């Protein structure tokens, strides 16, 4: 089947320069995909002219006259910009003109617009943001990453269901394991919400592993890690901050003097192989889960190569029927879920 | 002034082998310190015999017949083990026979025993656990790391006061900056507790920077980062997990083949310099703040060298009058704090 993806070309720190370039590169290697480039026609066409070999038959431009700023308040993006590239891209999904959309814009605005335009799937109270992270044994999916700052136990249960559905669809795992992020493995640990969520998850029919701790994310203890958006966001951003610090320190040590520079030159292929393994670009593309449509959020500062990974994630979710998986799981009765 | 530190010799994964060795090494380089080794006399004396050159005049053994297990429930450690090495070490502080105590034992038990035996400082509702972390620009103090899983805004304010007092004492900074861990820098972000805490901190007289995000910890944006114990614990443990994963991946890449091994040999001095900069041993020793006595928690798996850092932190806090600093700040009236 041909999959159509709507791309919000104006979102992200670099706008059309990155998004249009990434779309063209992606089309070249994925021949069953069509892309709708959404945004200011002039800006998009200027980028297209720079790249003569655009596969025109699988590409079209959809003009949208407004742009949501990276720091724009959610209310303003939602209410006063009816013709923003972000909103029009989401509306193309709603109308059935695209199977999914991808944006590197403001996360809060993207979630609010997606929720308003697409609505949530039956039974889902609150959509969540899920991302994939590298682990010692492969990778793991973590949700929520900031869509919901005050979650109750039922929300955490729904995150578990949505995360497991996502993993079973795109990773072809029948019963992915689900861990609940806590501050100790013992059942008595944690706050009341987490304790109640553990109970709900235990009776949910999911393959519930039990509590996991922060370090279990990178150990790869479970396929899915569930947490509230505040905790997930802090864990993700601290990790990003630590990784960046280590990268800078390592570079500084290799630049210290002539000897260390030489050592760096010799070790370069090894350092590059190491960098590739944990390259954040390969993990770009967070899923807004629980909506009646597939929406992928790219990192705002994503490079063209990183944005391609987000496009690939969108296509993957369409191809593997993530929405239907979540709907199916939500309709199977499980104790405790509303 | 001579400073006396009580050491819980039985705590931690390695018991007296690490704690006694570290105490002797520390005494050798810190001539104004006295140490009381607390625990099973036979086990401690066996370790001392292995090390002939113990500076006997600044060292004494205090027998305690019981040991708190690393996974022992808090209630059992607190109620049924009145003669545990952990409890006796804390009691030596209470009785004035030691200025501080250090334990690598079970964190929950150490906090419960310390709180029960020492009580909190006037005005402090809940003690917190503070640790020091490396940053791009130096280091920063983060609290709470797991003592309190359900914090209200007033608790977060008190953590700010205690953290600032600690930093002003041991780092000799008159007005250390305090950041509130949140999921966005904007004032409107975050849950209700965090929003109210920001208001209290803004009116507290502290040098309040405002909201910080997870990556600000490692950027070193502020001297102190305040968060609830659940969030802090997850952030710390995810960071530990990520650092471990990166260390393993880097080692694997250098071990891949003959060429990479050779490159590793040549790059070894650089890699070692890098490792030293972020060596967790140098940051070992978390402070239990808000008690009427100085209690330092060492990592359970600490090496002898790492345990020495925890001892040094205890001596530093005594020498710089951390307790008095906290008391002074708590008695200065500030709006919002009870």
Which of B71, B195, B215, B275 is the mutation pick for testing A, counting most A CBs within 10 A? Answer: B215
pLDDT score of B184 more than 80:
no
pLDDT category at B51 given cuts 50, 70, 90 is confident
Q: Which pair of structure tokens corresponds to residue A199?
A: 């109970």
User: Given an 8 Å threshold on Cβ–Cβ distance, is A274 in contact with B183?
Assistant: no
CA-based torsion, A22, A28, A32, A36: positive or negative: positive
Please tell me the distance in Å from A72's CA to the nearest CA on chain B.
11
Q: How far apart are CA A213 and CA B67, in angstroms?
A: 26
Contacts of A229 in chain B (CB under 8 A): 183
Task: Please list every residue in chain A whose beta carbon sits closer than 8 Å to the beta carbon of residue B235.
Answer: 214, 234-235, 238
Residues of chain A neighbouring B270 (CB-CB closer than 8 A): 253-254, 256, 260, 263-264, 267
Contact yes or no for B256 and A244 at CB 8 A: no
- Percent share of chain B, pLDDT over 90: 81
- Calculate how close chain A gets to B128, using CA atoms only, in Å: 15
pLDDT of A216 reads 96
Chain A: nearest CA to B291, how far in angstroms? 23
Would you call B260 and A270 a contact, using CB atoms and an 8 Å cutoff? yes
Q: Return the residue of A nearest to B221 by Cα.
A: A241
- Regarding predicted confidence, which is higher, B32 or A93? A93
pLDDT value at residue A185: 59
**Contacts of residue B128 in chain A, CB cutoff 8 Å?**
none
pLDDT given for residue B55 in this prediction: 72
List the single residue in B with minimal CA-CA distance to A217: B238
- Choose among A183, A218, A248: nearest Cβ to B245: A218
Q: Which of A146, A236, A270 sits opposite B264 (nearest CB)?
A: A270
Closest C-alpha to B221, from A280, A244, A227, A252: A244
Give me the pLDDT at residue A337, please.
42
**Which segments of chain A have a pLDDT < 70?**
185-189, 332-338
User: How many other CB atoms are there within 10 angstroms of residue B211's CB atom?
Assistant: 22
Inter-chain contact A191–B146, Cβ cutoff 8 Å?
A: no
Rounded to the nearest angstrom, the gap between the alpha carbon of residue B106 and the centroid of all alpha carbons in its chain is 13
Beta-strand pair B294-297/B286-289: antiparallel
Q: How confident is the model at residue B333 (pLDDT cuts 50, 70, 90)?
A: low
Return the number of other C-beta atoms located less than 10 Å from residue A255's C-beta.
11
Please judge whether A245 and B216 are an interchain contact, meaning their C-beta atoms are less than 8 angstroms apart: no
Which of A150, A234, A270 is closest, CB to CB, to B231? Answer: A234
In order of A32, A221, B152, the CA distances from A212 in angstroms are 40, 8, 24
Q: A-chain residues within 8 Å CB-CB of B239?
A: 214, 238-239, 242
- Cβ burial of A39 (10 Å; 0-12, 13-18, 19+) is buried
Q: What pLDDT was estimated at residue A164?
A: 96
- Lowest model confidence (mean pLDDT) among A223-227, A328-332, B95-99, B256-260: A328-332
Choose the closest CB to A181 out of B191, B234, B266. Answer: B234
pLDDT at A334: 53
A10-54, pLDDT tens digit by residue?
A: 999 999 999 999 999 999 999 899 999 999 999 999 999 988 777
Best of B245, B247, B259, B278 to disrupt the A interface (most A CBs within 10 Å) is B245
Predicted confidence band of residue B156 (pLDDT cuts 50, 70, 90): very high
Q: What is the pLDDT of residues A124-147, one digit of tens each?
A: 989 999 999 999 999 999 999 988
Would you state the pLDDT for residue A57?
Answer: 83
Q: Cis omega (within 30 of 0) on the bond before B144?
A: yes
Looking at this predicted complex, what is its ipTM? 0.89
B181 chain-A contacts, CB cut-off 8 A = 234
pTM: 0.91
Residue B115: which pLDDT band, with cuts at 50, 70 and 90?
very high
SS3 letters for chain B? CCEEEEEECCCCCCCHHHHHHHHHHHHHHCCCEEEEEEECHHHHHHHHHHCCCCCHHHEEEEECCECCCCCCCHHHHHHCCCCEHHHHHHHHHHCCCCCEEEECCCHHHHHHHHHHHHCECCCCCCCEEEEEEEECCEEEEEECCCCCCCCCHHHHHHHHHHHHHHHHHHCCCCCCEEEEECCCCCCCCCCHHHHHHHHHHHCCCCEEEEEECHHHHHHCCCCEEECCHHHHHHHHHHHHHHHHHHHHHHHHHHCCCHHHHHHHHHHHHHHHHHHHHCCHHHHCCEEEECECCEEEECCCCCCHHHHHHHHHHHHHHHHCCHHHHHHHHHHCCCCCCC
Q: Give the chain A residue nearest B187 (alpha carbons).
A: A73
Chain B closest-CA separation from residue A135 CA (Å)? 7
Least confident among A121-135, B43-57, B89-103, B121-135? B43-57
Nearest CA in chain A to B272: A253
Q: CA-CA distance, A308 to B277, in Å (whole number)?
A: 35
Instruction: Name the token pair of B86.
Output: 């952990």
- Strands A128-135 and A33-39, by their bridges, are unpaired
């Amino acid at each position: 089947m041909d999959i159509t993806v709507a791309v919000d070309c104006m979102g992200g720190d670099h706008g059309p320069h990155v998004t249009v370039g990434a779309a063209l590169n992606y089309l070249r290697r994925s021949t069953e995909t069509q892309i709708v480039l959404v945004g200011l026609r002039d800006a998009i066409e200027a980028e297209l002219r720079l790249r003569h070999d655009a596969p025109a038959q699988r590409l079209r431009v959809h003009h949208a006259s407004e742009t949501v700023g990276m720091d724009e308040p959610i209310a303003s993006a939602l209410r006063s910009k009816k013709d923003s590239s972000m909103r029009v891209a989401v509306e193309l999904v709603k109308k059935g003109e695209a199977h999914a959309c991808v944006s590197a814009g403001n996360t809060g605005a993207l979630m609010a617009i997606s929720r308003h335009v697409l609505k949530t799937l039956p039974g889902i109270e609150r959509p969540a943001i899920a991302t994939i992270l590298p682990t010692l044994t492969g990778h793991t999916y973590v949700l929520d990453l900031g869509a919901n700052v005050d979650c109750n136990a039922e929300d955490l249960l729904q995150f578990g269901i949505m995360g497991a559905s996502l993993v079973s669809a795109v990773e072809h795992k029948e019963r992915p394991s689900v861990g609940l992020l806590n501050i100790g493995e013992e059942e008595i640990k944690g706050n009341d919400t987490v304790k109640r969520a553990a109970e709900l998850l235990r009776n949910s029919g999911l393959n519930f592993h039990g509590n996991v701790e922060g370090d279990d994310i990178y150990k790869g203890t479970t396929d899915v890690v569930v947490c509230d958006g505040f905790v997930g966001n802090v864990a993700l951003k601290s990790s990003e901050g630590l990784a960046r610090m280590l990268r800078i320190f390592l570079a500084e040590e290799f630049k210290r003097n002539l000897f260390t520079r030489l050592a760096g030159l010799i070790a370069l292929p090894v350092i590059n192989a190491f960098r590739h393994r944990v390259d954040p670009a390969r993990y770009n593309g967070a899923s807004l889960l629980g909506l009646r449509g597939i929406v992928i959020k790219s990192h705002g500062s994503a490079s063209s190569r990183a944005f391609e990974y987000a496009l690939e994630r969108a296509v993957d979710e369409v191809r593997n029927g993530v929405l239907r998986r979540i709907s199916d799981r939500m309709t199977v009765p499980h104790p405790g879920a509303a």
